[in-house]
Amino acid sequence: MPALPGKGPRQMQVFGLNKHNVSWPGALGNSTLPAAGNRIAGNPMRSPGAVPPAPAESGSAIVICLLVLVLLSLLGVYATQTTTLEVRIAAHRKQATEAFYAAESAISEGRARLSELTAGAFPATTTWRGYLGFPQVAQLPQIAAELSGYQEADLVASAQIEVPFLVEIRHLNEEDRGIDLCGGGLQAEDVRFWGDLDGDGRFEENPVACGGPTAGTPIAVLTGWGIAGAVSGSAPSVKKITVEARREPLKPVLFGDLLLDIQTTAAITAGTGAPDSAHIAGNTQIRLATGIEVEGEILLGRQNDGTAAVFTVTDGSAVNAHGGIHQRDRLDPDPLGLAGGILAEALETSRTINDNLMGASPAITDQTIQLSAASPQGTAMTLAPGSYHLTAIALAENSTLTIDNSTGTVTVFLEGPLQTAVGSKLRVLGAASRFIIYGATEDPLNLAHNGDFKGCIHAPKSTVTLANSGQVTGMIWGARTILANSGEFAYDPGARGRFIHSRARLVSWRGP
């Protein structure tokens, strides 16, 4: 084959690869390319100049994959353990919260039923204990170790059947206060009372110590344990709350939940009580006549929806309130528990056990007092100390009802209207605090008789109107209270000891 123009022998040799071995000097050195048809054994595609892989790099991808798998496995185990721990922490927190709420429920029911639980055998010693709740809770070792003298026979069942708790009630004593009252060391019988010891209408702490007099009721210490988790389990959650509670007197001497309307221009005085202790209050509206003087505070409560009570004076002038005018939260319209509370139980008892026949002269045979010239009862009746259950009281003109409370208290549970006509007389011989009318009705209670009225009326659903021709002494509590008498209203400090909240007030708290 002739040589191509401008080409040397090297190019000619390349075109002859199919027949001859060719020497290729230069970059490849003197390597010899095989002739066509020749192949390297074991790898037909590898050229004779290729470099085989190093033995140390074989299988490295597998090792890396295994390391990644191990790392992912460790991360999975960590995530699982973390999730499990968080679930346990959340469950423990939930259980602890439920136990705390159970302890709160224990204290709440203990306060609400304190009067019931401490009625009857309530000796004024620090060794006395009362219990409310569930016997299974008292058997838990961590609770049983704290109980002193617990007997299941002394346990009162709780009304909350699905909330496991236990409440222990005892008296506050001088050891709790750390004060030696009599100089003979801290004594078990030195229980602290809460009441009006000096008769000024103000409650104070006083001891049953050194043989001296006492007033009021013992101050209670309530300890509540709440349980969450299986009570019979190995480790249920337990929370403990300890409170000091006492039953407080009603503060207002005149109260109207929906309306307190004082139309008289005379004063609302403290009477024989402490100065400026004749407080008046309402939750919806308080309306006063021009020029009235209040020897105490005017307390503005709230309606059910939270709206503040409205206060007005007839001609828009200022009122002379010695203690000032104060906004408060909603005041309990039935603090004595006449509707569904402790007082309701006394009302139920009075329907069958009362002094209608033996205490009244003439006897009350049909649960009513109807005094008039045409009535079989005549125009006069006297009620001696005792408890009476009535469905109506009506005094016609020229009739007289005498309340002989000079030696004891006359209590009337009234489930119907009360009407004293102009010209009738309602004579109360003793102190106002010893004549009490509990009005368990929505019927009106109207007193328009001649002369003064002395007594305490608690009728949280009734309209109570006093339009008598004289002074009113005592305490009046109604849904609507209207004072239109011709004399002043005088507070009887002894009445405050009669009107005591059925629910004890917390004065200290120690919790988890």
In whole angstroms, give the CA distance from residue 366 to residue 350. Answer: 14
Are 233 and 240 in contact by the 8 Å Cβ rule? The answer is: no
Q: What is the pLDDT of residues 186-207, one digit of tens each?
A: 655 577 778 777 766 677 777 6
Q: What phi and psi values does residue 143 have, to the nearest 5 degrees?
A: -95, -45
Quick: pLDDT tens for 412-470: 999 999 999 999 999 999 999 899 999 999 999 999 988 899 999 999 999 999 998 88
Q: Is 432 exposed, middle or buried (0-12, 13-18, 19+ CB in 10 A)?
A: buried
Pairing, β 237-246 against β 217-218: unpaired
Q: What is the largest CA-CA distance in the chain?
A: 166
Which residue's structure tokens are 């927190």? 93
pLDDT at 30 over 60: no
What does DSSP say about strands 472-483 and 165-171: parallel, antiparallel, or unpaired? Answer: unpaired
Please enumerate in sequence order all residues whose Cβ is within 8 A of that of 200, keeping only pairs 6 or more positions apart, or say none.
Answer: 273, 274, 277, 493
3-class SS of residue 97: helix
Q: What is the pLDDT of residue 96?
A: 84
Which of 221, 219, 214 has its CA nearest to residue 192? 219
Model confidence pLDDT, tens digit, residues 468-488: 888 899 999 999 999 988 888
Q: How many CB atoms lie within 10 A of CB 502?
A: 21
**For 324-352, what is the mean pLDDT?**
87
Count of C-beta atoms within a 10 Å radius of residue 397? 14
Predicted local confidence at residue 394, as pLDDT: 95
Band (159; pLDDT cuts 50, 70, 90): confident
pLDDT of residue 426: 94
Pairing relationship of beta strands 268-269 and 489-491 according to DSSP bridges: parallel
Is 44's pLDDT higher than 60?
Answer: no
Does residue 53 surpass a pLDDT of 80?
Answer: no
Token match 């224990």: residue?
Answer: 106
Spatial separation of the C-alpha atoms in residues 444 and 297, rounded to whole Å: 27
- Please check the confidence at residue 133 and state whether its pLDDT lies above 60: yes
Q: 234-252 pLDDT, tens per residue?
A: 578 888 999 888 877 788 8
Query: Is pLDDT at 377 greater than 50 in this prediction?
Result: yes
Cα–Cα distance for residue pair 418/370, rounded to 1 Å: 10
Q: How much is the pLDDT for 18? A: 45
**Residue 333 in this model has a pLDDT that exceeds 80:** yes
Give pTM, 2 decimals: 0.68
Burial class (CB in 10 A: 0-12, 13-18, 19+), 508: exposed
The amino acid at 22: V
Report pLDDT for 354: 95
C-alpha to C-alpha distance for 182 and 257, rounded to whole angstroms: 45
pLDDT of res. 115: 67
Q: Kindly tell me if the per-residue pLDDT of 376 is higher than 60.
A: yes
Q: Residue 41 in 3-state DSSP?
A: coil
Q: Is the pLDDT of residue 8 over 70?
A: no
Give the range among 19-23, 59-63, 171-175 with minimum mean pLDDT: 19-23
At residue 227, the pLDDT reads 87
Token digits for 455? 């007594």
436/53: higher pLDDT: 436
Is residue 3 predicted with pLDDT exceeding 50? Answer: no
Q: Per-domain residue ranges for the chain?
A: 1-49, 96-249+504-510, 252-496
12-21, 60-69, 99-108: the lowest-pLDDT one: 12-21
Beta-strand relationship, 155-157 and 165-171: unpaired
pLDDT at position 169, please? 87
Residues 6+ apart with CB under 8 A from 493: 196, 199, 200, 201, 270, 271, 272, 273, 274, 277
Of 29-38, 125-134, 287-296, the one with minimum mean pLDDT is 29-38
pLDDT digits (tens, 9 = 90+) for 254-310: 999 999 999 876 789 888 777 778 899 999 999 998 888 899 999 999 999 999 999
Distances (CA, A) of 160 to 314, 392, 468: 49, 37, 47
User: pLDDT above 90 covers what percent of the chain?
Assistant: 33
Q: Which residue has the higher pLDDT, 422 or 174?
A: 422
pLDDT for the residue numbered 213 = 62
Give the pLDDT band of residue 210 (cuts 50, 70, 90).
low
- From 159, 186, 183, select the one nearest 174 (Cα to Cα): 186
pLDDT at 31: 46
What are the residues whose beta carbons fall under 8 Å from the beta carbon of 202, sequence distance 6 or more? Answer: 196, 273, 274, 277
Over residues 305-327, the pLDDT tens digits come to: 999 999 998 876 677 888 899 99
pLDDT at 16 over 70: no
* Residue 204, beta-bridge partner list: 195
